[in-house]
Chain A
Amino acid sequence: GEDVEQSLFLSVREGDSSVINCTYTDSSSTYLYWYKQEPGAGLQLLTYIFSNMDMKQDQRLTVLLNKKDKHLSLRIADTQTGDSAIYFCAERSGAGGTSYGKLTFGQGTILTVHP
């Protein structure tokens, strides 16, 4: 079945860049997502990338996709204390038509930003 792996913890200093990595196993993945979850809150979609793209940039966020290695990363530039949260990578396969594209989540990376 599908599997998504992430490192569990990342700690950075304010102002540095953060890079959160994710690997997945399903080669039929169509969309890959990054969600952010702050304590006690729901999930907020940060960004996504379609599987035929290599890179996507959105303000401080850069997503890189290496489809050959099934590796996805999220880079946060100029990390702020407000970026401290859990970041989930998720992949969706079987999309399109009437088929159901189930989201498979990674375990989440806890990002801690120190002042």
Chain B
Amino acid sequence: DTEVTQTPKHLVMGMTNKKSLKCEQHMGHRAMYWYKQKAKKPPELMFVYSYEKLSINESVPSRFSPECPNSSLLNLHLHALQPEDSALYLCASSQGLESSYNEQFFGPGTRLTVL
């Protein structure tokens, strides 16, 4: 299984809603990532988890809250988002930050629209 899955595929939410994005991989990878991607732009790194611990937070606003309940799952909790947060949210995983190669496998993304 070389797949990263993400749910939901699409999400529309209001600015007062609370929602969560989910990501799952069964490749035994120990590093997982959240990226935000605006249309026709490259992905921007948000968070990195290594061995279920938050390793990198790229100065992301607190309205985005990541969680890694176990080595296969990564969540992104959303609360009080702004319309400019509308984007494609991509999850990725890799063998581990200590691996010299560390290829990142990406999921299909969740298309988020904030009204």
Q: Report A's interface with B, CB cutoff 8 A.
A: 30-31, 33, 35, 40-45, 48, 86, 88, 92, 95-103, 105-108, 110
Contact = CB atoms under 8 A, between A and B. Distances in A.
B56 A100 contact: yes
Nearest to A6: B42
A103 B42 CA distance: 11
Given A40-B111, A98-B97, A100-B56, A45 B45 contact: no
Size bracket of the B interface: 20 to 34
A42 B108 CA distance: 4
Contacts of B101: 31, 95
B21 interface: no
22 contacts: A33-B103, A41-B108, A42-B107, A42-B109, A43-B106, A45-B104, A45-B105, A45-B106, A48-B103, A92-B102, A95-B100, A95-B102, A100-B56, A100-B97, A101-B97, A101-B102, A102-B45, A103-B104, A105-B42, A106-B42, A107-B41, A108-B42
A100 B6 CA distance: 24
Interface in B86-104: 90, 92, 97-98, 100-104
B109 A98 contact: no
Interface of B: 4, 6, 40-43, 45, 48, 55-56, 90, 92, 97-98, 100-109, 111
A100 B56 CA distance: 9
A103 B97 contact: no
Contact of A98 (B42, B98, B105, B107): B98
